[in-house]
Structure 1
Amino acid sequence: MTNKIIDGSSKTKPNKRHPGCVRNFYDYFSEYSSNSSIHGIKYVGEKKRSLVEKLCWLIVITASLYICIYMIMKTYEKWQMSPVIVSFARSPTPVWEIPFPAVTVCSETKTRQSVFNYTDVYHKGLANNLTDDELSMLERISLVCDSHLRPTGNSTIDYGTIDFLAKVSPSFDEVFYECKWMNQVKNCKDLFTPTLSEEGICFTFNMLDREELFTNVVFQNREYLHHGIKSTNWTLEDGYPPNAGRDVFPVRAISAGQGAGLSMLLRAYEKDLDYVCRGPVQGFKLLLHHAAEVPRVSQQYFRAPLNQEIVVAIKPDMMTTSDGLKGYHPHRRQCYFPSERQLRFYKVYTQQNCEVECLTNYTLQRCECVSYHMPHDEYTKLCGAGKTLCVHKASVSLLTSELEKNLDGKGKETKLGHQECDCLPACTSLTYNSENSQADFNWPKVFEANKTNFEGLTGAKMTGVTLFFKEMQFITSERNELYGPTDFLANCGGLLGLFMGFSILSIVEILYFLSLRLFCNLRNYGHHYWSGSPDLLEDERYEH
């Protein structure tokens, strides 16, 4: 292009048509494409390229951009749906940093035959040959026997029924013969505390006092789960205080192995066994749980049969959550931190405590009363034998409705669904798995060999139980971020760089050409020459 220099003495200027908007835009885009750091753009805007070449490069760029955007959307979807990854901790945790498990013991004998012969009274009931007192006692005992035996009676009960259940069940002194903690003989009453469960009157070791566990729960001055020992500022999230010594509560083991565990001799008397109330298996049910969790013995337990010795090797399983997940919604991370969920009846949130409270509320709604072992206030009615079927149906109905809400129409599980109970796991959870072994326990021969006095053991059947940690350390699991904001940005940047050669400076270039450079061109050369093309600007400089 030959520039025309106009003589200053000339009085006229040759007519020159200014470039059109399309031409200016094309020249401006050509300049941008020649300077852009995005791969392939320069071939689209290069003036000397043929239309076929430009079209091919435009197709390639469009395909790369589509694939890149698709993969970024998939990455974002994965971040939204599964932001948490569970991994193992970097180092093992010693067993003395966690409490020894709470141990709940329930006898399968719900009523001593020597006090109340349930079998005889039950058969009298089938023959409609009961006195009023026998009928009243039969209905009360039916609350802890198999639910199908006597599902009729009064709709509600009072606390006198609970006192009666405690009276006819095996007493503490009859159940426990000897206890050892860390290989030292202890008074069993110093270790175990009576508690209420769906199995009737049970006894629990190493559980928090009810003052630290419950809120707004009435016990009518009964001493269930009330031992008066305060915890040593222990919490499930933070563990024991750094300056806590050996003597803490909940108690902790100092090592693995039998010498640092709990041993007990349990007994039942042949004359008191009843095979109608609870069926053919006699002995005891045991449950391991942590100190701030209510036991549900009927749901999770292992048996300790009579005249058997049970050895239980405990393997803890702990799950923690990184602080980086606190900013996520609980349903995204699938757990609750302690400050995020407050229960009505429990001071400590755990998934099981939440489930018990939810079942309690649901049962109260369906049956207008709750079972005697459920948490309740002073205005709540307690269900009697006449509501046994209603309580059972309420439990099944709640489980069924929760399952249906967790499934969509195609049978796929919806992990982020908001349930009625909304009982997500606690962000810090602790469970105790066990490996059990057992053998015949020929205790009479041992007593004879040691010439031990059999006083009080006539007709007795003994069960030995030993519990201890299997190993000195265990591996903790941790919830961590799968993608944090930085990880997601780096992932997106990697995809954009791989497919487009795109970077933060590329965005700056685009913004620069759309704003600052365009504004400066308009300011310096007028709106007719906004393109900033060097050729056009050079023409204008010579002409003016």
Structure 2
Amino acid sequence: MEKDVEGAKQTKESECQNGVKKPKRKFPGFRKNLLDYFQEFTGNTGIHGFKYMGEQERTSCEKFSWVILFCVSLYICINLIIQTYLKWDMSPVLVSFAKSPTPVWQVPFPAVTICSETKTRQTVYNFTGAYDRLTHGENLTDDEMKRFSDSSLICDNHLYNDGKKYTDSDTIDYLMSVAPQFSDIFASCKWTLLNESCENFFVPLLTEEGLCFTFNMLNRDEVFRDRVYLNDKYMSHGSHSKGWSLEDGYPKDAAKDTFPRRAMGAGSYAGFFLVLKANILDFDYICKGPVQGFKVLLHNPSELPRMSRQYFRVPLNQEVVVSVKPDMMTTSSGLRGYNPHRRQCYFPTERYLSFFQSYTQQNCQIECLANITLERCGCVAYHMPHENETKICNSGSQVCMFEAQNELLAMDVDAGLQTAASTEVPLGCDCLPACTSLTYNAEYSQATYEYEKMFEAYRVNITAEWPNTHLSRVTLFFKEQQFITSERNELYGQTDFLANCGGILGLFTGFSFLSIIEILYFLTLRLMCNIKHYGRHYWSGSVRLLDHPQYRNPKSKD
């Protein structure tokens, strides 16, 4: 053996000495090396169909067929993945029922706001008489004209629109003084079998219906921010929520008689009873039309009521029985990472209101209306939240306020019809629902309230105690002991999206996460290691990939 090696060396040296050189072997170029590298990848990858594209013994027709089949499968995959993405992007939220019912004592009893249909007491100010004199061409003094102009603010807005555009807080004080007072409306109250004075339950409140009275609503410093100007006698009762919030509910250590008040159960025995009264001598059929009685609205204790939007009537000489069913919507914490317009709600920390302490959809709408009215008219309505320096609109601005309200409604409709992406802020107020919301659905029934017959049976002279008075009775209570809350949950999270994409790719192409790693491996680490091992001429054509010892077929002669 050693002799053979030594002989080969001598032969090589003699050839070199004689000037004879061994012919160089011809290697393929860059394109051929790239093709060989691709054949190696297709022979090892797990992606369906690639193996047949790279096999040398396959005909061009077979390879082309497999390329077509792979492209068709890839096209189907892309379309299905796009549909999956759109579903994930457009409908990430599923509204479902909670797993267990919620007892009614875990939510507050509804705030009850009551407004009389009589806006100006005829015994204090005769609006009908002033209107009749004005329409018949009689001259009113400046004082009479001012009182009539101010009074028209709480009447139908078509009655008088020719007064001054602006006024001040003295007008509000005047309007509240001519409206029916507390003692003119409430006869008796009873809460959960406890007879107490109605003054312990109700506080005065300013609404678009004038002076109203509300029960179980949060104190003014828990509803409004400090910048809001409001006379201290309105919405101030001194009771505070003691840790209650719409999102978190009552604290675990909250007492049974906490505030806002909560019912201990369902049924009329745990409800709220009211007897309301109205003086015939105070009725005014010009200011608000032919209907007399009361408007009642049930609402969340943390939001300001809008009496012109939702209410039910309590007619005179009628008993109205109202069975209430809470409707609560919550949102899972898993949706906090989503854009508010994708989940279609705001968490409390995501939307700041300038006038209100807590965000609700209704509070947002009231604030937006006040801002638009101030921008368009230079003033706000007397019942809107505002700062001390803000001007109050008088009768001369009623048309402007009406147009501002219509403009806001049109903006909200345009925002609802808008087709922009969900991540963009839409037009209008952008008052999405709160992620935790509480409303009260009510069922009503009524019957004739024959109180005169009842007092006559008790031998009580009702006309002597309440002359010229009509009475109405209202009973409110929870309909059922428990109710089912609704929840917003993730319908299609990131995990579901990836799982569906992986399933589609695996079904049509056999593609997986490791396939990505495999491709990256061949394009980076494998390539760099080969270049490092075989030199910088790896792709230059001086070295053929399949000629390397690690790629050779062991059965080949070479």
The alignment's TM-score, normalised by the length of structure 2, stands at: 0.91
Alignment partners' CA distance in 2, 1:501 and 1:542: 33
Residue 533 of structure 1: how far off its partner (Å):
6.0
Deviations 1:483-532 (A, max 9, x none): 22222211211111111111111112112222222233333344133635
User: Does the 8 Å contact 2:328/2:436 carry over to 1?
Assistant: yes
Aligned to 1:188: 198
Partner in structure 2 of residue 516 of structure 1: 525
Change in Cα spacing, 1:200 to 1:450, as seen in structure 2 (3 Å) is: same
**Residues in 2 aligned to 1:539 and 1:291: alpha-carbon distance in whole angstroms:** 83
Identify the residue that residue 323 of structure 2 maps to in structure 1: 313
Matches within 5 A, 1:91-490: 91-132=100-141, 133-219=143-229, 221-408=231-418, 417-454=425-462, 455-490=464-499
1:37 to 35, 42, 46: 46
What does residue 84 of structure 2 align with?
Answer: 75
**Cα distance per residue 1:244-302 (max 9 Å; x no partner):** 12011001111111111111011112222111111111100111111110010011111
Distance 1:214 1:52 in 2: 78
Aligned residue pair count: 537
Q: 1:532 to 1:446 in 2, by over 3 A?
A: farther
In structure 1, give the amino acid aligned to 2:308.
S
Q: Is the 8 A contact 1:518 1:530 kept in 2?
A: no
C-alpha separation in 2, matches of 1:521 and 1:532: 12
1:337-358 residue CA offsets vs partner (Å, 9 max, x unmatched): 1112111111111111111111
Q: Deviations over 1:283-332 (max 9, x none)?
A: 00111111110010011111111111111111111111111121222222
Provide the C-alpha distance between the structure 2 equivalents of 1:218 and 1:476, rounded to a whole number of angstroms.
34
- The amino acid that maps onto 2:458 is N
Tell me, yes or no, if the aligned pair for 1:257 and 1:468 is still in contact at 8 Å: yes
Identity, % of aligned pairs? 53
Tell me the alpha carbon deviations over residues 14-37 of structure 1, each in whole angstroms, 9 at most, x when there is no partner: 542113333322222222212211
- Check conservation: 1:309, 1:440, Cα contact below 8 A: yes
- Does the CA-based 8 Å contact 1:522-1:529 persist in structure 2? no
Deviates further, 112-121 or 10-19? 10-19
Partner of 1:529: 543
Secondary structure (helix, strand or coil) at the match of 2:154 reads coil
Amino acid at match of 2:290: P
After superposition, the C-alpha distances for 1:153-212 in whole angstroms (9 at most, x for unaligned) are: 122222222222222221111201111111221210101111000000000000011111
Q: Secondary structure at 2:274's aligned position in 1?
A: strand
Alignment partners' CA distance in 1, 2:547 and 2:85: 41
Asked if residue 497 in structure 1 is aligned to residue 511 in structure 2, the reply is no
Query: Residues 8 and 193 of structure 1: is their aligned pair in 2 closer, same or farther, counting only changes over 3 Å?
Result: farther
Residue 29 to residue 533, structure 1, CA distance change in 2 (3 Å): farther
The one-letter code sitting in structure 2 at the alignment partner of 1:426 is: A
The 2-side partners of 1:188 and 1:217 are apart by 30
Question: How much does 1:218 deviate?
Answer: 4.8
TM-score, normalised relative to structure 1: 0.93
Q: Does the CA contact (< 8 Å) of 2:88 and 2:492 recur in 1? A: yes
Q: Tell me if structure 1 keeps the 8 A contact 2:300–2:438.
A: yes
Tell me the secondary structure at the aligned position of residue 346 of structure 2: coil
Query: In terms of mean alpha carbon deviation, does 364-373 or 133-142 score higher?
Result: 133-142
Match of 2:17 in 1: none
**SS of the residue aligned with 2:180?**
coil
3-state SS, counterpart of residue 303 of structure 2: coil
- Name whichever of 484-493 and 466-475 sits farther off: 484-493
Q: Which amino acid in the other structure matches residue 447 of structure 1?
A: F
Quote the offset at 1:239 in angstroms.
0.5
Gaps of 5+ in 1: none
- CA positional deviation for 1:220: 5.7
**Structure 1 counterpart of 2:519, which letter?**
I
Distance (whole Å) between structure 2 residues aligned to residue 452 and residue 217 of structure 1: 51
Match of 1:50 among 47, 52, 59: 59
Q: State the secondary structure of the residue aligned to 2:113.
A: strand
Q: Deviations over 1:28-48 (max 9, x none)?
A: 222221221111111111222
**Paired residues of 2:380 and 2:392 also in contact (CA < 8 A):** yes
Asked if the contact 1:28/1:533 (under 8 Å) is kept, the reply is no
Distance 1:484 1:531 in 2: 46
State which drifts further: 514-523 or 334-343. 514-523
Tell me the secondary structure at the aligned position of residue 309 of structure 1.
Answer: strand
Match of 2:353, SS state, is coil
**1:96-115 deviations in whole A, cap 9, x for unaligned?**
11111101000000112222
RMSD: 2.4
State the one-letter code of the partner of 2:107: I
SS across alignment from 1:65: helix
